[in-house]
Amino acid sequence: MAGQDRSRADAAVLVLEDGTRYPGAAYGARGRTVGEAVFSTGMTGYQETITDPSYAGQIVLMTAPHIGNTGVNDEDPESGRIWVAGFVVRDPSRTVSNHRATGSLDDDLDGQGIVGISGIDTRAVTRRLRSVGVMRAGIFSGPDAALDPADQLAAVLGSEEMAGQNLSARVSTPELYRMPAEGERIGSVAVLDLGVKASTLRYLTARGFEVIVVPEAISAEEFFALAPDAVFFSNGPGDPGASDRHVALLREVLERGLPFFGICFGNQLLGRALGYDTYKLPFGHRGINQPVVDRATGRTEITAHNHGFAVAAPTEGVSESPAGFGRVEVSHLNLNDDVVEGLRALDLPAFSVQYHPEAAAGPHDANYLFDRFRELVVSALREPQGGPRSTGEAQGGGR
């Protein structure tokens, strides 16, 4: 940047679709980016956040004021690249101080072409999003920072809204691959990759599963030709209401009585497969400090979240699946706003949670759910084949 007016060259602005503007300094790559503006309340785990495929299409604002002090490394990414559409921080760290660091967050964002902004009042932006709801937004830096404000706003308003978008094809693996079980193999699990995180796959293999990760575009014939002992639907970005093909596949899984576990997007798809609707939350749940009660144990867990949609299922008592899959109960509930955080089918070997029990980044309170899934599959493999099985006792077990 020699010979340039650094203050002018480093100017940046965050523009919300309601016309609100927040001037700041360029961070990461220079240019422009648009996406849905969301905030994450985690004080740590920014590298896991930006590499989580569920954030595809979103400009992520970190509510913690100081970001980047531990740099980046080669061990913590949840995928092979950064997925956020843009990144917003208040005070980026000037130095990297961690023995595991291999580089700085700023350089990593720049190297992967991720446009960011720093030096803005992230509290003010968070309050705006909490009051109005998530909005489309744009970050403009470098030459784009000097564009007419009307042109910047037009670029934001011309971008796609998250509602109605099916983004799984953007983040899914293009080809099937396998991961061997660690220790004694108990069976195989077919993982529909809708944006799966690396830590999720590690937790499955650590519990004796041979993991078969399949593309989201796989046909039902190809899927069932794999003859999996169990099925897992991963987290991922986009609107569950735009994933009819995945819902149809999951309904066939349920009809065949295969043990099923879903996380985040997988929870929303289980809700739809059971016949419930999904809806968009005003500003969603994102971060690593969300309180959820597990109704089977009565225990409150601090959990990691990243979702802007939720399942509209009755939260009290047991309901009948509108799609004819028997009795269903809401197994987990968010204590902040009573949003459905988990579903359990009482007449089928199927359950799901809306949050991220793999804890990357985040607390390990809900890690036992992988053990619960293992117990469910082991129980199913011991039973004679022949259609759906009642597994209420297996799913309701302890840790």
> Which residues are tagged catalytic?
264, 356, 358
SS (H, E, C) the chain: CCCCCHHHHCEEEEEECCCCEEEEEEEEECCEEEEEEEEECCCCCHHHHHCCHHHECEEEEECCCEECCCCECCCCCCCCCCCECEEECCEECCCCCCCCCCECHHHHHHHCCCEEEECCCHHHHHHHHHHHCCEEEEEEEHHHHHCCHHHHHHHHHCCCCCCCCCCHHHHCCCCCEEECCCCCCCEEEEEECCCCCHHHHHHHHCCCEEEEEECCCCCHHHHHHCCCCEEEECCCCCCHHHCHHHHHHHHHHHHCCCCEEEECHHHHHHHHHHCCEEEEEEEEEEEEEEEEEECCCCEEEEEEEEEEEEEECCCCCEEECCCCCCEEEEEEEECCCCCEEEEEECCCCEEEECCCCCCCCCCCCCCHHHHHHHHHHHHHHHCCCCCCCCCHHHHCCCC
Structure tokens at 116: 């960011």
> Is 306 known as a binding-site position?
yes
Structure tokens at 36: 């849905």
**Rounded alpha-carbon distances, angstroms, from residue 16 to 36, 349, 350:** 9, 44, 40
Q: 156: Cβ–Cβ under 8 A, 6 or more apart, which residues?
A: 15, 16, 17, 34, 136, 137, 138
Q: φ, ψ for residue 280 (rounded to 5)?
A: -90, 130
> Is 385 known as a binding-site position?
no
> Is 308 known as a binding-site position?
yes
Structure tokens at 270: 């289980």
> Is 265 known as a binding-site position?
yes
> Is 69 known as a binding-site position?
no
Angle CA 45–48–49, to nearest 5: 85
> Is 268 known as a binding-site position?
yes
> CA-to-CA distance for 37 and 21, rounded, in angstroms?
13
List residues forming the annotated binding site. Answer: 54, 236, 238, 265, 268, 306, 308-309
List residues forming the annotated binding site for L-glutamine. Answer: 54, 236, 238, 265, 268, 306, 308-309
